[in-house]
Amino acid sequence: MTVTAEQFTEMSLKLQQVRNEIGRFIVGQEEAVEFSLYSILSDGHALLEGLPGLGKTMLIRTIAEVLDLSFSRIQFTPDLMPSDITGTSLIERDAAGKQQFTFREGPIFSQMVLADEINRATPKTQSALLEAMGEKTVTVLGDTKNMARPFFVLATQNPIEMEGTYPLPEAQMDRFLCKIKIPSPSREELAEIVRRTTGTEEILLVKQMGTSDLLAAQQLAKEVLIADDILLVAVDIIQSTDPLQTEIEDIIRFVQYGSGPRGLQSLIRTAKARALTEGRYHVSIGDLKYVAKPVLRHRLLLNYEGEADGADIDLLIDQVLEAAGRGRSR
């Protein structure tokens, strides 16, 4: 595929229009909007973590509307069954009166799926969603069905009220491209939220992209170039999170397991998505460092001392980024 600089520029302008349109309705949350879009461009999934009432659901619904994607919301609860997500086969009579199995699709068969409070469902139900995320297929009674294209899962979880929850195992957390933290709004943002939501003015969103545009953007993101020396910096970043391959004292002291190959793939894919969004056709070290925290924060597992001391994973990643490219890995 031959790609021109004009194609990158044109797509960057389209993506900027998407961000501007989302910003007409969503107040603040620039990082959440950015990394949700980066995840979509990278054909990945994102985990949003924040307190209740910060607009996580509204953000995801708004992105789906601006991108003209079919949307469904699944409220995860302890009694949710896998078939409630994937769908089930029912016995129905056809026009001739004969009985036959008919498959009724579940909410997972949408282009954008909001998995609300994913950690409140049992591991068996979580696995039904995670199979669809990883394989882009769903198996029901031995019959494998393909997901829609494009297909994204944006899951949410509440960092408090952990009683009665089923935290995702590390191997399943690794399936998410990014873990995005939703901060509390500032004083000015709170005031603007009230103005937009308690008045009589209704904001009508305008669709800025369609399915074909989005698939083209995903393909264009893959075409973004990365030089060998930049790739080696990315490798340094990943290896520096491993306590067995780094000389960073706090990583050795507080981290049990660092990131691995999937983390490196995710770092490169997300950096390419950022470069495309900024209208560039090559990845920079700045791109790698900009996307590192959301890509890596759920891929570092603290040891007992790290948990006991309350080590901040984002601060550990800061140390990794400071050492990146200096040959600090063994």
The pLDDT tens digits for 86-107 are: 877 777 776 777 777 777 778 8
The residues of the chain that CATH labels 1.10.8.80 are 224-323
The pLDDT, as a whole number, for residue 329 is: 40
Give 5-79+111-208's CATH code, choosing from 3.30.70.100, 3.40.50.300, 3.30.450.20, 3.50.50.60. Answer: 3.40.50.300
The pLDDT, as a whole number, for residue 74 is: 87
The pLDDT, as a whole number, for residue 182 is: 84
Mind listing the pLDDT tens digit for each residue in 37-76? Answer: 999 999 889 998 877 777 778 888 888 888 888 888 888 8
Q: Which fold has domain 224-323?
A: Helicase, Ruva Protein; domain 3 (1.10.8)
Mind listing the pLDDT tens digit for each residue in 119-153? Answer: 888 888 887 787 788 778 777 767 777 788 888 88
Mind listing the pLDDT tens digit for each residue in 212-271? Answer: 888 889 999 998 999 999 999 999 999 999 988 888 889 999 999 888 899 999 999 999
The residues of the chain that CATH labels 3.40.50.300 are 5-79+111-208
Q: How many residues belong to the chain?
A: 330
Give the distance, in angstroms, between the CA of residue 84 and the centroid of all CA atoms in the same chain. Answer: 22
Report long-range pairs for 76-79 (Cβ below 8 Å, ≥24 apart): 76/115, 76/116, 76/117, 76/118, 76/119, 76/120, 76/121, 76/125, 76/126, 77/117, 77/120, 77/121, 78/120, 78/121, 78/122, 78/164
pTM of the predicted model as reported, rounded to 2 decimal places: 0.86
The pLDDT, as a whole number, for residue 195 is: 78
